[in-house]
Each structure stands twice: as C-alpha cells, then as structure tokens.
Amino acid sequence: MTPRYLGKRILRNEDARLLTGRALFVDDVQLPGMLHVAFVRSNYAHGRLRSVDVSTARQRHGVLAVFTAADLGDYWRPGPLLVPPPPIPDLVFHQCTQVPLVRDKVRHVGEPIAMIVAESRYVAEDAMEDVLVDIEPLEAVVDLEAALDPAAPLIHEHLTSNVAAHVVQRKGEYERARAQADLVIRRRFLYDRGAAAAIENRAVVASWDARAEELTIWDTTQAPIPIRNGLAQMLHLLESQVTVIAPFVGGGFGPKIMMFYPEEVLVPWASKRLGVPLKWTEDRQENFLATTQERGQIHDAEIAFSREGRVLGVRDVFLHDSGAYDSYGLTIPINSQCTLLGPYDIADYESEFTAVFTNKTLVTPVRGAGRQHGVFVIERLLDIGARSLGIDRVEIRKRNLIGPDRFPHNHGIMFQDSAPLVYDSGNYLPAVEEAARIVDYDRFVREEQPQLRKAGRHVGIGVTCYVEGTGIGPYEGARVTVEPSGEVRVATGVGTQGQGHFTALAQVVAEVLGVDVEKVRVVTGDTRAFHWGTGTFASRGAVVAGTACHAAATAVREKILDLAARMLDVPKDRLVLSGGRVQVGDSGATGQAIELGALAVEANPLRGAVQPGSEPGLEATAYFGPDRGSTASGVHAMVVEVDPETSMVEIKRYIVVHDCGRLINPLIVEGQIQGGVAHGIGNAFYEQLVYDQQGQLLNASFMDYLLPTAADVPRVEMAHLETPSPFNPVGLKGVGEAGCIPTGALFAQAVEDALADYEIEICEIPLSPNKLHELIAKSDVRK
C-alpha cells in the first residue's frame, strides 16, 4: 500500500507548545518551598584537597545546608561505568570513574567540592565565597604525549601510568599490503572536536515526598530510565518509588547522557535528606568546565596504495584524550577506529589506540562521537594519495568503494556496541556521483576554477564520504493505546531533545493505524508513562524506538481488526483502517464502518465479559532490540573561496547527498542535516577548547568560544537516497549525527584546494583564520 504518512513532510506536533513558550523545560519547574543549589568547584586542574571549611558558609543568612564529601557517608562512591568495553582480545582498560564530591584529590577544573543549599541561587552563590578550600596544587597533565612520559605525574595514583586503555584491532595483514604497495604515505593528523554547547544548560530538580515515600526528579538527561534505575539503587528505593522526567530538553548532542553527573547524584540525595524540593541549574561557565565534552586525538597513520589508487591497507596508531575519568568507556576511540574504514573496501587494516588520562574535563560523545576523527584520517590520506598518484580526488574514492553486491559487509572487527562491525546495506557509488553532479564537479575543476584562478581568486572544491553506524541496541519499547476519543497515545522511553519524536514516532503509528498524525499524542522521557528503555544516543531514537512503535501499533491493529470483524461480522481481510475508522472494503464514507474511539469503548466494556484469551482495550506494548546497528552513509561536497590576506573562508556551496534508509519525515531529516553541518562547520573553523599548561580552559564563555552564527552557515543543498536497512521492518537508519561527521575533512580538502598555489597541506582540524594564516605564511612556494 502507498504510505499515507511515512515519508511525508508533515509539520511537527510539538511546535505550537515550543513557539508560544508553554513547553516545560527543567528550569521552568517551580515547586512550593523549593530551595536552590550551587556548587563550589575546583579552581585547580590537579591537586590534593587538604581541607574544606564550610563553617562560615553554613552561618550565612538564607543558607540551609552545605555538604562536603565527608557528609555523604556511604553514599559517596565513584560512579558506574556507563559503557563496558567490547570483548576485544588483549584489551586493556583501567576503570576510573568520577566521584560525587572531591574527597582527596582534584583532577580537573570544575570538579565539585561542596554543595550549598540556600533560599535562592543568589544567596547560594554568595555563600560560595564563604567556603575555604585548601588545595595543594600538583603539576597538571595536559598534553597527550607528555602524559605518557614515565616522569609525568600520575592522575590516578593507584595506576602505574596515565594510560586509560589500550586497544588493537586488525583485519587482514597490513604488512602484506605494505609489501605489495606502489606507494606508502605516512602522516600525523590532529583532530580536535569541541563542546556540545546545547543552548540549554543542564538542570536537575528533585522533590522527595515523605508521605508517599516517592522521589520525583526532573532532569535534562537523554536517558531518564537508566537515571531512575541507578538512583533507585543508590538511594535504596524501589524503582517504582522514583520518577524521572526529562521534559522538553533544550538540545542534547551527547553530553546530556553521562550517568552519573555528580549533580544528578547529589540533588536527589539532598532533597530526600532535607525533605524539601531542590533545584540546580548549571550556568554557562559550569557548562564549559563540568559538562562533558569531546576533544582531541593524535593519529600517526600510514596508507598503502597500488599504482591505480586502490587502497591496499591502512595502519593507524593514535592517542585519545579521555580527560580526568573514563566513565563512558571506549565508545569514542572505537568509533574513530571503526569509522575510519568508511565506505571503502580496505582489506588490510591495523588500528591501535591508547586512551590517556589528562587533567581536563571528562570526554564523552558529542554529536559524531569520534567518527569525525576516523573520517578525517582516511579522507586526508586519500587526498594526499590522489595528489601523489595524479588521480582525481573523486575518482580515487570511486575506485575504493564497497560494491552494492557486498552487503551485509562484515569488517571483522568490533564496533562500540560490542557487536561485529557489519554494514547492513549500502549503495555508495550513486551517492558520490550524485554529489559530484550537483556540485558540478567536473565543470568546476575543468572550467570555472582555472578561470577564477587566473583572475587571482582562491576557490576550491571538496568531496568527502562517510558512513555512520546508527541505531544500535540494546532495545527500546513503546506502548500504543487507542483512547475512547479516537486519539492514539504513544508512550516510549527515549527522551527528546529536538529531534521531532512527537511527530516522527506519531507518523509511524499513524501509518499503521490509519489515523491523522495530529491525532497521535506521543509521550517521551517520563518514567511514569513508560519505564523500559535506554535513551537517546547514537542516532538511534527513530530507528529503535520507531521500530518498537511500529511493532506496538501493528499489535494494536490486530486487536482492532479482530474486534471490528466480530462486530461487523465480516472477515478481517475485508477491513480497511483509514481516517480514524475501520471500514468494510473500499466502501468509503457511506459503507459500514466503526470509529476507532467507539471500538476502544467496546474493547473496555463495563458489563459483560472480555473474550477469553483477549485483553481489554486497544492497547499493546512492544519492544525492538536489534542485534546490531544499521549503517547510514553519505557524501558531502563544498565550494569555498579563501581570502589569503585575511585567511577567512567563505563557503560558496555546501551539498549533502545522504542515505539514511527509509525516510520517516524529510522535513525533520533535512533539519537534522542542516543543523549537523552547522555543528560541523563550527568544529572545522570556529570552535576549540583551549587549555593552558595548568589545565585551565581559557575560553569558557560564548564570548571566547565561538559557535557558528547565521552569518557563517550557508544553505545546505540536499539529496536523499534510500537504501532500506534489512535489520528492521520499516528499513530505517539513523541520521542525527550525519551532518557533522565529514565536515572537518571536507573543509581541509576544499581549503587546501583553494590555496593550491601555496602548496599547503592541512593535517589538523579545527582550523581558524589564525591557524590558516600560519600555514600560508609558512609556505615557501608562494606565487
């Protein structure tokens, strides 16, 4: 049947609430008698905490309590490991997770030392000045390579070095490839990522109801259900005594899933202890220091080519900055390791990484989650190889793509979800050709660029490829209920941070049940409504929760058909669901039909009996747990002009051809891509977290850390290809991170091309006008 709602550009159900200021965000929660929390944080990156004197602060008017680590008793313990490392042979991993309040040693600037509860945030912040913190500073470990020097200070003193992890993965035999190669290229690459910088900072509100013995928490988390389960365990409560609500969340991008932030552990505990509702809302400076971020890797990579430009093998050895603790496991470096392979057929691959502790804020995934780093390495190696071999940049990519007949494609190494890295489906060549066609690559390179160059203009073009592992397990669930009003209610566990779940998930259900999308009301991120699931990460919401919605709706559809067939006394296969009704055949409005609402009333009778073997109501719950993720892919192309005097880069055109399987809503998908590209442009040219040698973040404000603005981000021209995933019945793949994954690599290629007459080589992202100027100034072939 032709889809009625799937694949359509349907306007969002959630917009009216957001546009009118009625949507509830965590900081909007106001409870009677609520008090406010502020945290005293470390000003040093590395040091021994000698003492904390809170006696003056406790006496300040308006302060109700001040807590230090000593006050936490048995509640003080290091946080859990969020993602255990995959079962890779000989893997080394030293688990060192964050603590709620520092007891003996500070390991990064911004680590919380004391918690102040006061009648207002103003008073609480004043009281921070009263707290006397005595820290004996230690030498900070900042640089990745210096951290591994045997003489470097130890961040975690029970370990023998600052190594957090060491992992080697191999497919084939790189030495064999190297021996057969006509050309071997070796380079060092630096790729730094940046802050997520959601415009909404983190916030936690907690309210302990002593009479009901129930704890309710509003949290800007991407994972409300695991937060609830973890808190229940820590506080010795039943899971059913704890409710976690992630209402509207003002952007996630990764760091809002870090179980557990100290504040998430402390605010509920203190509310229970004091018996009053408490609110903590992060300020922007805290966000830069205490919210996780993603940072740099240093890659020493080698690639072996045949004369024809076939990649025979790659060897990559890299360092990954973990920050002060490694609570999120190895998701990021394993993503880098796996995503380096991209859409390419690389027979022999050897990848080794060392994750390193540093005295900086914790590193956890930020949109892209390490994929950028791997994509940058392979794409740069291909560019340098193409230049050395005299092969066109698009052509060398075409020669190395995995063919459409080779799926599912097993790379034989482990992905971050502890499943083998298997691409479910893909069709890469048409995407490269389509991107080249839209950007008019051949004509640009043959005609336009030479003409403009003759006129003294520095214009460049770039084309890069990527894949994105999306939609990983373990599972999500959904409950679908037809209400007597005829409206359909969908409850699912994933939280929402702007991805349009209220609409996209509604479309999936509407398609199955034949009701209008605006009649489907979606509830997400409220453990009262649904309490099984993991969270929103890894571009998995639509894929995993969407498939669970599809399954639950399909089960409800069966119930509808069973009941309607009985009531109308016709066989099920003659019934059609459309327009919120069940009707016989295609008889249209005049034929025999029942409204879904009326059927819902019939299914829940006040008298008589429910049929044996059936359940009351038109409701079903279903789950979806994929063995492994589905792999989306795409090609980005860009035309830039560089002004060598100012080193400013103007993006003339930006094209994305991408394939995320079957589209639920192109409007939302395009929004994700445009926004992702903006994030990628920030990563490539504007954003960098700059730490000094003492581990102080020098640009911890929006004055100094530049997010791209409307003046910097162009219109992204897009084309969709749809290669359905065979791993789920709708054929979905994720798209959330696609926009920002190849942007850094593309920027480097296009800018390098624009500055061809300077013969510079860009091996580092982010660039900035300053950095680009340094590269230009160093060039000795200036013409």
Partner 1 sequence: MLLSDFLRQTLGLTGTHVGCEHGVCGACTILLDGEAARSCLMFAVQAHGHEVTTVEGLSPENAGELHPLQAAFRQSHALQCGFCTPGILMTLVALLRDHPDPSEREIRETLSGNLCRCTGYQNIVDAVKLACDATLPR
Q: Which of 1, 238, 609, 711 binds partner 1 (CB under 8 A)?
A: 711
Smallest distance from the beta carbon of 660 to partner 1, in angstroms? 17
Per rule CB under 8 A, is residue 710 in the interface with partner 1?
yes
Nearer to partner 1, 199 or 212 (CB): 199
The tokens of 494 are what?
A: 């994933």
Per rule CB under 8 A, is residue 703 in the interface with partner 1?
yes
SS3 413: strand
- Please tell me the distance from the alpha carbon of residue 23 to that of residue 289, in angstroms, as a whole number: 28
Per rule CB under 8 A, is residue 619 in the interface with partner 1?
no
Q: Which of 248, 444, 530, 758 binds partner 1 (CB under 8 A)?
A: 248
Smallest distance from the beta carbon of 178 to partner 1, in angstroms? 42
C-beta separation of 507 from 10 below 8 A:
yes
- Please tell me the distance from the alpha carbon of residue 175 to that of residue 309, in angstroms, as a whole number: 18
Smallest distance from the beta carbon of 122 to partner 1, in angstroms? 7
Per rule CB under 8 A, is residue 679 in the interface with partner 1?
yes
Q: Per-residue contact track with partner 1, 103 to 142, x per CB under 8 A?
A: -------------------x--------------------
The CB density around residue 713, as the number of other CB atoms within 10 Å, is: 18
SS3 335: helix
**Class of residue 191 by CB neighbours under 10 A (exposed 0-12, middle 13-18, buried 19+):** buried
The type of residue at 680 is G
Considering only the stretches 38-46, 88-96, 195-203, 331-339, report the one whose residues sit in contact with partner 1 under the rule CB under 8 A. 195-203
Q: Which of 4, 28, 273, 724 binds partner 1 (CB under 8 A)?
A: 28
Per rule CB under 8 A, is residue 446 in the interface with partner 1?
no
Per rule CB under 8 A, is residue 670 in the interface with partner 1?
yes
Strand 764-765 and strand 716-721: pairing?
unpaired
Considering only the stretches 110-118, 144-152, 375-383, 707-715, report the one whose residues sit in contact with partner 1 under the rule CB under 8 A. 707-715
- Burial per residue of 726-765, b for 16 or more beta-carbon CB atoms within 10 angstroms, e otherwise: ebbebbbbbbbbbbbbbbbbbbbbbbbbbbeebebebbbb
Per rule CB under 8 A, is residue 197 in the interface with partner 1?
yes
- Please tell me the distance from the alpha carbon of residue 635 to that of residue 632, in angstroms, as a whole number: 11
Give 667's Cβ-side CA count (13 Å radius). Answer: 13
Q: What share of the chain is helix, strand, coil (3-state, %, to 5)?
A: 30, 25, 40
Per rule CB under 8 A, is residue 23 in the interface with partner 1?
yes
Smallest distance from the beta carbon of 301 to partner 1, in angstroms? 30
Q: Per-residue contact track with partner 1, 276 to 315, x per CB under 8 A?
A: -------xx-------------------------------
Strands annotated E in 306-387 = 311-323, 348-357
Q: What is the DSSP string of 253-320?
A: SSTT--S--HHHHHHHHHHHHHTS-EEEE--HHHHHHHS-BB--EEEEEEEEE-TTS-EEEEEEEEEE
SS3 205: strand
Selection from 205, 327, 209, 324 nearest residue 264 by Cα: 205
Q: Per-residue contact track with partner 1, 734 to 773, x per CB under 8 A?
A: -----x----------------------------------
Considering only the stretches 70-78, 356-364, 669-677, 744-752, report the one whose residues sit in contact with partner 1 under the rule CB under 8 A. 669-677
Per rule CB under 8 A, is residue 199 in the interface with partner 1?
yes
The CB density around residue 621, as the number of other CB atoms within 10 Å, is: 17
Q: Which residues contact 41 (CB under 8 A, 6 or more apart)?
A: 109, 110, 111, 112, 113, 286, 289, 290
Smallest distance from the beta carbon of 709 to partner 1, in angstroms? 4
| Of residues 53-112, those binding partner 1 (CB under 8 A) | none
- Please tell me the distance from the alpha carbon of residue 552 to that of residue 491, in angstroms, as a whole number: 10
Q: Which of 715, 729, 777, 778 binds partner 1 (CB under 8 A)?
A: 715
- Please tell me the distance from the alpha carbon of residue 156 to that of residue 97, in angstroms, as a whole number: 10
- Please tell me the distance from the alpha carbon of residue 347 to that of residue 595, in angstroms, as a whole number: 58
Nearer to partner 1, 142 or 517 (CB): 517
Per rule CB under 8 A, is residue 648 in the interface with partner 1?
no
Alpha-carbon radius of gyration of the chain: 28
Smallest distance from the beta carbon of 249 to partner 1, in angstroms? 7
SS3 495: coil
Per rule CB under 8 A, is residue 539 in the interface with partner 1?
no
Strand 630-643 and strand 459-470: pairing?
antiparallel
**Class of residue 292 by CB neighbours under 10 A (exposed 0-12, middle 13-18, buried 19+):** buried
| Of residues 325-384, those binding partner 1 (CB under 8 A) | none
Strand 618-624 and strand 476-482: pairing?
antiparallel
Selection from 234, 260, 227, 224 nearest residue 80 by Cα: 260
Nearer to partner 1, 251 or 420 (CB): 251
Considering only the stretches 47-55, 323-331, 496-504, 561-569, report the one whose residues sit in contact with partner 1 under the rule CB under 8 A. 496-504
Q: Phi, psi (5° rounding) for residue 510?
A: -60, -40
Per rule CB under 8 A, is residue 554 in the interface with partner 1?
no
- Please tell me the distance from the alpha carbon of residue 745 to that of residue 764, in angstroms, as a whole number: 9
Considering only the stretches 315-323, 576-584, 705-713, 754-762, report the one whose residues sit in contact with partner 1 under the rule CB under 8 A. 705-713
The tokens of 43 are what?
A: 């000003």
Considering only the stretches 146-154, 168-176, 234-242, 675-683, report the one whose residues sit in contact with partner 1 under the rule CB under 8 A. 675-683
- Please tell me the distance from the alpha carbon of residue 322 to that of residue 663, in angstroms, as a whole number: 35
Nearer to partner 1, 22 or 782 (CB): 22
Considering only the stretches 43-51, 578-586, 613-621, 699-707, report the one whose residues sit in contact with partner 1 under the rule CB under 8 A. 699-707
- Please tell me the distance from the alpha carbon of residue 678 to that of residue 137, in angstroms, as a whole number: 39
Smallest distance from the beta carbon of 705 to partner 1, in angstroms? 10
Per rule CB under 8 A, is residue 12 in the interface with partner 1?
yes
Nearer to partner 1, 122 or 308 (CB): 122
C-beta separation of 720 from 658 below 8 A:
yes
* Sheet containing 630-643, strands listed edge to edge, beginning at the edge strand earlier in sequence: 459-470, 630-643, 648-659, 716-721
| Of residues 472-491, those binding partner 1 (CB under 8 A) | none
Smallest distance from the beta carbon of 250 to partner 1, in angstroms? 3
The type of residue at 228 is R
Smallest distance from the beta carbon of 497 to partner 1, in angstroms? 5
Nearer to partner 1, 64 or 707 (CB): 707
Smallest distance from the beta carbon of 11 to partner 1, in angstroms? 6
Smallest distance from the beta carbon of 735 to partner 1, in angstroms? 13
Smallest distance from the beta carbon of 729 to partner 1, in angstroms? 27
Nearer to partner 1, 366 or 721 (CB): 366
Per rule CB under 8 A, is residue 500 in the interface with partner 1?
yes
Q: Which of 42, 68, 169, 201 binds partner 1 (CB under 8 A)?
A: 201
Per rule CB under 8 A, is residue 434 in the interface with partner 1?
no
Q: Which of 167, 198, 259, 545 binds partner 1 (CB under 8 A)?
A: 198
Smallest distance from the beta carbon of 489 to partner 1, in angstroms? 22
Smallest distance from the beta carbon of 32 to partner 1, in angstroms? 13
Nearer to partner 1, 25 or 475 (CB): 25
Considering only the stretches 41-49, 250-258, 328-336, 770-778, report the one whose residues sit in contact with partner 1 under the rule CB under 8 A. 250-258
Residues contributing to the site for partner 1 (CB under 8 A):
11-12, 14-16, 18-25, 27-28, 30, 122, 196-201, 248-253, 283-284, 497-500, 667-668, 670-672, 674-679, 701-703, 707, 709-716, 739
